[in-house]
A and B are shown apart, each in its own frame.
Chain A
C-alpha cells in the first residue's frame, strides 16, 4: 500500500517534465512554482503581445531581488511562493443542481443579506435557467456603454483589443517595482478589468464587476486599470457583499486609476472574502495595491471601502494629487472579528497647488481581531495652500481585540493645513441596555450601533451597495458580544 501511494505521489510531483508545459498548449495548469518559464507560459496561453511579456519578465526579475515587507502590524505565516499554481485556465465551476446542495451556512447568510434566489444560485454555482441568465442584461448593458464610447471589458480582452491604451497606462500609477506584492502581480497577473471613459463622458450607470462576463474567474492575481479622460465621470463598484469562498489563499491584486483634468472617479469596494474559521484557521490573505493619480487640474479620486472579509488584509488605496486643485478622498470601514487582522489605510501625496484630501477611517475590532490604520499624508514644497483632514476612529467590541493607529504626516510648506483627529471607543453596556429596553435584542442593537458608527463611510457608497453593506456589517459581528 505504502509503495503504491509513494508511486502516485512520485508521479504527481515529478509529472511536470512529462507535460513539457512551455510547448504543450493544451495544458490547463502551469506547474507549481514560479520561474521565467512559468511567465512565458502564462503570456503564451493568453496570446499576449510582446510588450506585455517583457513587462512581466521585468517585473519578475525585479521581484526576485525583493523580500516580503515586514513593517505592517500583522502576523503572517511564511508563504511558499514556489508552492502556488500561477496559471489555471478559466474553468467552469462545479455546477450544482439546486440550492439544497449548497452549504446551509452560506444560504443562511445569503438570506440575511436579502440576496435574491436567482442570485444565490449564481453565486453558489447552481445551474441557472437559460431564460433568466443575465446574458441579455449584459448585452443591453454593453450596448449602452458602447454608445458612449465607454470601454468596459476584461483585462485580457483589453490587451488584445486596445493594446495601445494598456501599454500607455499599465504600470503608470503602480510601477512593477512598487512593492513586493505589486511586482509579483505584475509578473503573473491572471486577469482583471479594464475601463476607459472618453473625454467629456459621464458614465450613465454604475460600473460593477458583477456585470462583467469574466468576473467569476479573475483569479487570485487580479489587475484593474481605469482611465478617465478629461471632464469624464465614472462610479465603479468592485466586489460583492455575498461571502466569497476561494481555495487560493494568497490574493495579490493591483488597481490603477488615472484621472485627467476635471475628471472624477469614484471607486467603491465591498470585500467579503473567506475570513477563516473561528479559531483562525484558513482564510484569504488579501494583499492589494490600489492607487490613483489625479493627473490634471481639478481631478478627483474617491476611494470607499468596506472590508469585512479575509484573514489578513493589507491595503492602502492611495491618491497622487498631481494636478492643481485636485481632490483625493478615502472612506474606509474595516472589521476584524475572531482572528482576523487588518493593516489598512491610505497615502495622500499632495504635489499640485491647492490640493485637498479627506480621510475617514473607521476600524471595528471584535473577538481576537487586530485592526490597524496606517496612513501617510505628504504635502510637498510645491503643493502650496493644500489641505488635509483625517479622522481615524476605532471601535472595540470585547476586551481581547486590538486597535492601532499609525499616522505619518509630512508637510513641506507653510501655507498648507493638516488636521488629524483620532478616537477610540467601545460599545458601552449603557448603549446596549438602552436599546434592549426599547425592545431591540442584543445582536440587532450591536448592528444598529456599528452602522451608526460607520455611517459617514456607508453614505458614500452607491445606494445598491449601501443597503447590503449595512446588513453585512451586522452579520460580520454576529456572536462577537455576549
Chain B
C-alpha cells in the first residue's frame, strides 16, 4: 500500500476541519476526491504535504509504511509526494528552469545520486516539456509570474513530470481552466500514470473525470469521507448534486 490514512483529525487555528478521514491508496490507482466547498478537501491535501498551519490532532498517515508526521515538508517531497497547487504562488526573478534544477538535484541528493549536469538537465526538461505539451518559452519565465490561470496549472503538471512523484495530489488543478487547458492537464496525468505510482485528484466537477478516469471516487463532506464508489459515483454526483448525500448524512 502506498498511502494509508486512518481516522485523521486536523485543525486550523483551533478549528477542526477534518474529523476522522480514512483513505487507502495503492500503487497504480487514481482516486478522485469530490465534495462541496469548505468540506476539507484542500486541508486533506495540505496535511499530507505537511503544511505547518494545519495541525494534525489525531489519527495516522502512513506513506510507503512510514509515519509521515515524522518527516518535514521537503523530506516528504523527496520521498515522492507531490502537491499540485490550487493557487500556485509567484516567485519573481527565479526562472522555472533554475527552480526545477534546484528541486531535481535536491531530490537526487536525498536519494544519493549525483546532480545532473546542465546538459543532462536541459535534455530531461525538453523531453518532459514535449510530454506535457508545454511551449518552450514558459520555462524561461519566472515561476508563475504573470502567468494566466491556465499557464499556472500547466506549469504544475510540468513540474510533476519533472519530479516523477510516487504520489501526486492535484488540488483542484482543473478550476478556472478552459477546455483546451483542461485537456492538456488531463493528458499530462494520463501519460504519467504508471503501475508503481498513484494520483489523488481533488476536484469540484465531474468534467475533469471525463479525461482522467478514476478507479475510485470519494465524497468528502464535513471533514469525513462519507461515500466511496467507482467512477459512476462521479456521474451520479454530477446529475444529482451533493444534496442527496447531505440528506443521507442527516438521516
Which residues of A does B touch, CB under 8 Å?
428-431, 433-442, 444, 448-449, 451-456
Contact = CB atoms under 8 A, between A and B. Distances in A.
B85 A434 contact: yes
Contacts of B51: 433
A455 B103 contact: no
B97 to A, nearest CB: 12
Among B53, B78, B91, B106, find the residue whose CB has the most chain A CB atoms closer than 10 A.
B91
Contact of A452 (B89, B94, B100, B103): B94
Contacts of B78: 439
Contacts of A440: 74, 102-103, 106
Contacts of B93: 451-456
A417 B147 CA distance: 31
Given A439-B103, A452-B92, 18 more contacts: A428-B89, A434-B88, A435-B103, A437-B73, A437-B77, A437-B83, A438-B99, A438-B163, A439-B78, A440-B103, A441-B74, A448-B91, A448-B98, A449-B91, A451-B93, A452-B93, A452-B142, A454-B93
Contacts of A454: 93
A448 B77 contact: no
A441 B103 CA distance: 9
Contact of A448 (B89, B99, B163): B99
A442 B73 CA distance: 10
B91 A452 contact: yes
B92 A453 contact: yes
A433 B142 CA distance: 17
Given A433-B51, A434-B85, A439 B91 contact: no
Among B53, B78, B103, find the residue whose CB has the most chain A CB atoms closer than 10 A.
B103
Contacts of A434: 85, 88-89, 91
Interface string B38-61: 000000000001010100000000
A438 B98 contact: no
A328 B88 CA distance: 38
Contacts of A437: 49, 73-74, 77, 82-83, 85
Contacts of B8: none
A104 B77 CA distance: 33
Q: Which 7 A-B pairs have the closest CB atoms?
A: A452-B93, A452-B94, A455-B93, A438-B103, A436-B73, A439-B77, A430-B89
B159 interface: yes
Interface residues of B, number: 28
A340 to B, nearest CB: 23
A453 to B, nearest CB: 6
A433 B91 contact: no
Contacts of B157: none
Interface in B75-112: 77-78, 82-83, 85, 88-89, 91-94, 98-100, 102-103, 106-107, 110
Given A430-B89, A439-B103, A449 B94 contact: yes
A27 B106 CA distance: 57
A429 B100 CA distance: 19
B102 A444 contact: yes
B163 to A, nearest CB: 7
Contacts of A452: 91-94, 142
26 contacts: A430-B89, A433-B51, A433-B73, A434-B85, A434-B89, A434-B91, A435-B99, A436-B72, A437-B49, A437-B77, A437-B82, A437-B85, A438-B163, A439-B74, A439-B78, A439-B103, A439-B163, A441-B106, A442-B74, A448-B102, A449-B94, A451-B94, A452-B93, A452-B142, A453-B92, A455-B94
A117 B163 CA distance: 35
Nearest to B46: A433
Nearest to B79: A439
Nearest to A362: B93
Contact of A438 (B72, B92, B110, B159): B159
A426 to B, nearest CB: 13
B192 to A, nearest CB: 16
A255 to B, nearest CB: 29
B20 to A, nearest CB: 25
A431 B163 CA distance: 18
Nearest to A454: B93
Contacts of A439: 74, 77-78, 103, 106-107, 110, 163
Interface string B133-148: 0000000001000000
Nearest to A450: B93
Contacts of A431: 89, 91
A439 B164 CA distance: 12
Contacts of A441: 72, 74, 106
B74 A436 contact: yes
A415 B135 CA distance: 43
B42 to A, nearest CB: 13
Contacts of A433: 51, 73
A444 B94 contact: no
Interface string B162-183: 0100000000000000000000
Contacts of A451: 93-94
A456 B93 CA distance: 8
Contacts of A430: 89
Nearest to B108: A439
Contacts of B159: 438
Contact of B77 (A428, A436, A453, A456): A436
B77 A438 contact: yes
Nearest to A430: B89
A276 to B, nearest CB: 29
